[in-house]
Chains A and B, each alone.
Chain A
Amino acid sequence: MKRFVSKWFGLFMAIMLVGSILAACGSNSTGGASKDGKVTLKVLDWNNTNTKETEKLIQDTVEKELPNVKLEFEYINWDTDFSSTMQTRIAGRQLPDIVMIKGGDHPKYTEHLMDLSNEEFMNEFPEDIRKALQINGKDYAVPYTSNFQGVFYNKRIFDENNIEIPKTWDELMAVAEKLESNGITPFTAHFKDYQIGNSFNQFATVEVFSKNPAWGDDLQEGKEAFAKSPEFKTVFEHFEDVYKYSNKDPFGVDFTGAAEKFAKEETAMWIIGTWSTAQVLKNNPDLEIGFFPTPATEEQNTKIIMQPDHTFSGSKITKHPEEVKKVLEIFATNKDMAKQYIDNVQTDSLIPDVVSNVDAPFVEDINNYKSIGAANANVGNVQIPWPYQEQAGSYIAEWLLGKKSLDEALKATDDYKSKVKFSTK
């Protein structure tokens, strides 16, 4: 009898275990309505500046306007994890209900995003902002913020050394030379992580895409090549100039280390974007930071570079499309939330009439240069995707470290064309 009971108990346990595995495989983990009728929407977010404050702000606003909706945030690092996370979630049909997508990344994901073209709230945005993010004339994202890229500088150092703001690349090099001769390190460089990849597009925007806005498309069609382009050769050479005048051991310094160096006034300039200022001011809240546009070889191409940054999209397979649209509507229309958001993230809003209250010299500088006209970084970002820019950065690094000649680095960048998926065709 004992054996009989133990045999059937074993069988029962095995069947229960198999059953529970199968049940787990079939369960829905993409969020849903709870017993109290509240709908939980998952949000994938890669913002890394003051996340606690921004999360509370969004949750409180949404809870006030939509009491039956709860947002659950998941944070990832855009540079290292966004692409892989999106890929695995899409493959597993577990894309979160709302996804923060970086302006320029949308063409990759359109098949999996909600079409927002006919939503009333999209009419809140001026035509040029919508167009900057549209794919084949359709809207897949609510534009939210934009960042600006250029050269941040230490105002005190510039004033004490009587330095004028440079308007061309040659003038920038003259400034660097003067600073160095006065015992000051001109540039902050963090080549250990993404700086070369990022500045690659920054320099290309003013040197290449300003002359041929379809250069990347021409590259895909075989009409252009890095090795044949004098403009891209100039882009590569800019890195040699920066390297020459940068802090010690740039290949051993990452973004955090660079922010610390700039904050401690060890360096005078930093070629980067507005996302860096929060980190710098955390290290030294009293630092007077100024800003000027990335100088181009020819003065007429020296422009402030704008990039649509944080945008919000809805998943095409969400189980709660109506709630998702209502939340996206809050993003598009709630100007109070938008204002507090940009103050927390220290960036610029794409919502009309929303202006930052951050009182800093660089904000004033950016607003002044904006009125002259800005170049759109996404022209290059969409045509030459980020992995391509990063890989070009690796070849530039190998050239700077003497492992390749300039021509070999340019040719290697051409050869990599077949190894990357282009977003546009």
Chain B
Amino acid sequence: MNLDRKNTPSISVNLPAKPAASVQKKKRMKAGTFQYLILLLPPLLFFVVGMVIPLIMGIYNSFTDWDGLSLEKNWIGLTNYMEIFKDEMFLNSFKFTAMFMVFNTLIQNVAAFLFAVMLDSNIKGKNFYRTIIFAPVLLSPILVGQIWTKMYGTILPSINDMLGLSINFNFFSSPDTVMTGLLIANNWQWIGYWMLIYLAGLQAVPKDIYEACTVDGGSWWQKFIHITIPMLGPSITICTIGIATGSLKVYELIVASTGGGPGDSSKSTIMYIYDSAFMSQQSSYASAMSVIFLLVLLVFAFIQLKVLRKREVEL
């Protein structure tokens, strides 16, 4: 559509003359902005060098046939990506990781929440119990892996022998029990951490709400369901996302305890990606798997945030 200039009403706006003080203020703002930008440069440089460039390089490599050592790399398009969905080992490792995440999220959330509620009450020696439950958080997952290897392999079987029992504690020796063994080790380490988040959340709940409920004749259970749980919404969001993403990235614990075995029964996705890149010299294929895994993590985090935040708002 052509607009006839003649029909267009002319607009004339009389702008007030810029006062000298305003110009000076803008100049100062410009100098201030420049200073902020300069100050932002070091972290930006770290971010670009440490995150953006490797990410772009990784995505580029995923479209090549680079083996990680060779001086040459050839463009092969989507071949690596098409391979992934036919790769039974990738799918199995993903299934294992997803199961590990689901069980961890459930167990750790429930256990941490219950411990927090118990240790927020007036029981004797609660600081001692808090310290004991939190202590394993301070250990490295490598050490935790070694502790539980020793526990299942030597300590518990010795107790078994001493008591004349025949309970099979060698959880890491069978594909059927390895998940249980890893869940025990992982939960033993992290429940204390999430318990502290819930404790902080519980202590932030205003006491007058409970008092009002008491006045209205509310029972302990009603207070728990209608006040405690809703008020802990933000803590539940933090814990669920933290446990889930931490479980999806599990690596050190498995390396130090089962090595992904027996067979491939406890090989996590990150571990399979690492082995493909550095052991099997399939760097470009590992890059493609990393890109897919990153997308899965992003989708997952997005859904979690949307669902949980929505619930918080509704509350």
Partner of B280, one of A10, A403, A421: A421
Minimal beta-carbon separation of B53 from chain A (angstroms):
12
Q: State whether the Cβ of B160 lies closer than 8 Å to any Cβ in chain A.
A: no
Compute how far the CA of A80 lies from the CA of B42 in the bound complex, rounded to whole angstroms. 35
Determine the main DSSP class of A at the interface with B.
Answer: helix
B163 to chain A, nearest CB (A): 18
Chain A residues with CB below 8 A from B175, complex form: 398, 401, 403
A421 near B45 (CB under 8 angstroms)? Answer: no
Q: Give Cα distance in the complex from A142 to B70, angstroms.
A: 23
Among listed B115-123, B209-217, B271-279, interface-contacting one:
B271-279
Interface centre among A91, A111, A401 (most CB of B within 10 A): A401
Q: Which of A108, A251, A394, A398 is the one whose CB lies under 8 Å from B69?
A: A108
**Interface mask (B168-183 → A, CB under 8 Å = 1, otherwise 0):** 0010111100000000
Assembly CA distance A86 to B49 (angstroms): 22
Tell me, rounded to whole Å, the shortest Cβ–Cβ distance linking B117 to chain A: 37
> Is residue B98 within 8 Å, beta carbon to beta carbon, of the partner chain?
no
Cα(A405)–Cα(B275), bound, Å: 25
Let me know if B265 is at the binding interface, CB within 8 A: yes
Within B272-294, the residues touching A (CB, 8 Å) are 274-283, 285
The reply to whether B35 and A10 contact each other, CB–CB distance below 8 Å, is yes
Separation of A257 and B283 alpha carbons in the complex (Å): 34
Residues of B close to A91: CB separation below 8 A: 68
Report the minimum CB–CB distance from B93 to chain A (whole Å). Answer: 12
A111-B173 CB under 8 A given contacts A15-B38, A191-B262, A420-B282: no
Contact of B153 with A90 in the complex, beta carbons under 8 Å: no
Secondary structure dominating the interface of B: helix
For A193, the closest partner residue in chain B by CB is B259
Q: Assess the A18–B41 pair: CB atoms within 8 A.
A: yes
**Cα separation A386 to B283 with both chains bound (whole Å):** 16
State the interface size on chain A (CB cutoff 8 A): 44
Contact of A251 with B71 in the complex, beta carbons under 8 Å:
no
Q: Does A112 contact B (CB under 8 A)?
A: yes
**Contact of B153 with A257 in the complex, beta carbons under 8 Å:** yes
Q: Complex formed: what's the CA distance from A90 to B255 in Å?
A: 24
B59 to chain A, nearest CB (A): 16
User: In the complex, A15→B41 CA distance in Å?
Assistant: 9
Q: Does A17 contact B (CB under 8 A)?
A: yes
Interface residues in B59-82 by Cβ distance below 8 A to A read: 67-71
Cβ of B259 and Cβ of A192 under 8 Å apart? Answer: yes
Enumerate A237-265 residues with CB–CB distance to B below 8 Å: 249, 251-253, 257
Contact B263 A387, beta carbon cutoff 8 Å: no
Q: In the assembled complex, which residues on chain B have CB atoms less than 8 Å from the CB atom of A386?
A: 279
Q: Does B39 belong to the interface (CB within 8 Å)?
A: yes
A69 to chain B, nearest CB (A): 28
Tell me the smallest distance from the CB of B299 to a CB of chain A, in Å. Answer: 26
Give the distance to chain B from A27, nearest Cβ to Cβ, in Å.
Answer: 15
A84 at the interface (CB under 8 A from B): yes
- CB-CB under 8 A from B31, the residues of chain A are 7
Q: Verify A17–B42 contact, CB threshold 8 A.
A: yes
Q: Is B261 on the interface with A (CB-CB < 8 A)?
A: yes
| A109 at the binding interface (Cβ < 8 Å) | yes
What size tier do the contact residues of chain B reach? 35 or more
A129 contacts the other chain (Cβ, under 8 Å)?
A: no
Query: What residues on A are CB-neighbors of B96 within 8 Å?
Result: none
A247 to chain B: closest CB distance in Å?
Answer: 12
Contacts of B41 in A (CB 8 A): 14, 18
Contact partner, A397, options B38, B46, B49, B261, Cβ 8 Å = B261
- Distance of A395 Cα from B83 Cα, bound (Å): 21
Residue from the list A87, A251, A390 in contact with B262, Cβ < 8 A:
A251
Contact with B along A81-101 (1 / 0, CB 8 A): 001101100110000000000
B231 contacts partner chain A, Cβ-Cβ < 8 Å: no
Residue of B39, B69, B261 near A109 (CB, 8 A) is B69
Are A398 and B265 in touch, CB under 8 angstroms? Answer: yes
Are the C-beta atoms of B281 and A420 separated by less than 8 Å? yes
Asked, given contacts A397-B261, A420-B280, whether A249 binds B170 with beta carbons under 8 Å apart, the answer is yes
Interface residues of A in 149-201 (CB under 8 A from B): 191-193
Q: List the B side residues contacting A21 at CB < 8 Å.
A: 42, 45-46
What's the least CB distance linking A361 to chain B, in Å?
A: 31
* B residues in contact with A25, CB < 8 Å: 49
Q: A108-B281, A252-B170, A403-B175 are in contact. Are A397 and B69 (CB under 8 A)?
A: no
**Digit string of B152-174 for contact with A (CB within 8 Å is 1, else 0)?**
11000000000000000010111
| Chain A residue at smallest Cβ distance from B283 | A87
* Residue of A251, A390, A415, A418 contacting most chain B CB atoms (<10 Å): A251
Task: Please indicate the chain A residues that have their CB under 8 angstroms from the CB of B279 in the complex.
Answer: 83-84, 386-387, 390
**Does B264 make an interface contact (CB < 8 A)?**
yes
Residue B89 at the A interface, CB < 8 A? yes
Given contacts A21-B42, A111-B69, contact A252 B153 (CB under 8 A): yes
Task: Specify which chain A residues have a CB less than 8 angstroms from the CB of B285 in the assembled complex.
Answer: 419
Q: Which of B255, B260, B262, B285 has the most CB of A within 10 A?
A: B262
Docked Cα-Cα span, A345 to B152, in Å, equals 32
In the assembled complex, the Cα of A388 lies from the Cα of B41 at a distance in Å of: 46
Residue in A closest to B44 when the chains form the complex, CB atoms: A18
CB distance from B24 to the nearest CB of A (A): 14
Q: Does A76 contact B (CB under 8 A)?
A: no
C-alpha gap A403/B285 in the complex (Å): 27
Residue of A nearest to B34 (CB): A11
Contact of A7 among B35, B83, B280 (CB under 8 A): B35
A415 to B281, CA, bound (A): 17
Q: Is B173 a contact partner of A394 (Cβ separation < 8 A)?
A: no
A387 to B272, CA, bound (A): 12
A-B pairs with beta carbons under 8 Å apart, 13 shown: A10-B38, A14-B42, A15-B38, A108-B281, A252-B152, A252-B153, A252-B173, A388-B280, A391-B280, A398-B175, A419-B87, A419-B89, A419-B276
Per CB-CB distance, the 7 closest pairs between chain A and chain B, nearest first, are: A84-B278, A421-B281, A398-B263, A252-B173, A251-B173, A387-B279, A397-B263
For the A-B complex with A390-B279, A401-B174, A419-B87 known, give 14 more contacts whose Cβ atoms are closer than 8 Å.
Answer: A10-B35, A11-B35, A18-B42, A25-B49, A84-B277, A91-B68, A192-B173, A192-B262, A193-B259, A252-B153, A394-B260, A397-B261, A397-B262, A401-B263
| Chain B residues in the interface with A (C-beta under 8 A) | 31, 35, 38-39, 41-42, 45-46, 49, 67-71, 83, 87-89, 152-153, 170, 172-175, 255, 259-265, 274-283, 285
